[in-house]
Structure 1
Amino acid sequence: MAAAARLFRLRGFDDVTVAEVMKDAGLTHGAFYGYFSSKDALIAEAVGHALPPAPDRASPRRPAAQYADGYLNVKHRDDRATSCLFSSLGTEAARGSAELRHSMTEAIRRRIGHLGSEAEGDTPREKRRAAIAAWSAMVGAMVLARIVDDEKLSKEILSETRASLPLVQ
């Protein structure tokens, strides 16, 4: 699954063949249908594997401000193979299977919950609004920072988005 998730993030769903995934995973192309019923099933499984798991209440998670710092930086921007699925494959996933979209929806809910626990606001509704705005800005900023061909502008998009986030600093 890691091989498929990495290839999909690098090149997108359409530009990766089943044969490439199987070869990268050290398996033969013929073995594919022993594992998956279709390429869509492979996509859903690979994305599900690469999505962040539900938080474990026993282990502390990274504070929201630290998460934002780690997300909105050049290293994350340039590491497409292991970076955020939402900024790498979001537009493609929007056209994906119901199973894929559901997996991504649940991961988005978890991220909003994580960010909302530390977002600015006096009420749960205000904190949730701030978390949604922060997550949307972060993913959007990463997409834009990858699109532009001007390094200075790309870095500015990342840094100015981080500075604007309604998260406890």
Structure 2
Amino acid sequence: MGATAIFDGPVKTFIYPDLMMRVRFDDPRLTRLMWYRLNSKSTRQYFRENATGTAGNMPKISGKTLKNMVVAIPPAEMWDAVLAFLENAFARADRMEAEAAHARALIDRLEAALLARAFRGELVPQDPADEPASALLARIRATRAAAPKARRGRKAKENA
């Protein structure tokens, strides 16, 4: 529900839709701090719990709900340090997410290569005394051909 964004574009070059709210702060650092806060799990939960509207798929957040939200703001002299901490943490998380995606791709390739080697018989040393697959398949075909065919259709009724 809801998405937050920071718009840094030119003034008076956009139109706000009726379901959008605009919040302004004098200091761009406070804008970024609030953006982090508004995207937090606890704030999104607060909005879900306080949303109104009759349509379940279109909950609405009122200006009053936004104004009643309690936000702890650190002292202004700490804003730079808090922002640096948050931005470093999110940059680390982004890097870890990219590394995890890369690792998943490598695992998929490794799995495919492993299966290919397994089907070529390259995973373990082969015993020359083992029957070749072609001979095994020929033996299975011969066994199936010699087996009596099962009758199809309904079984005869037994008289008791």
> Smaller-chain TM-score range?
under 0.3
With the length of structure 1 as denominator, give the TM-score of the two structures: 0.20
With the length of structure 2 as denominator, give the TM-score of the two structures: 0.21
Write 1 or 2 for the structure with the bigger share of helix.
1
Bigger radius of gyration: 2
Structure showing greater relative contact order (alpha-carbon pairs closer than 8 Å, 6 or more residues apart): 1
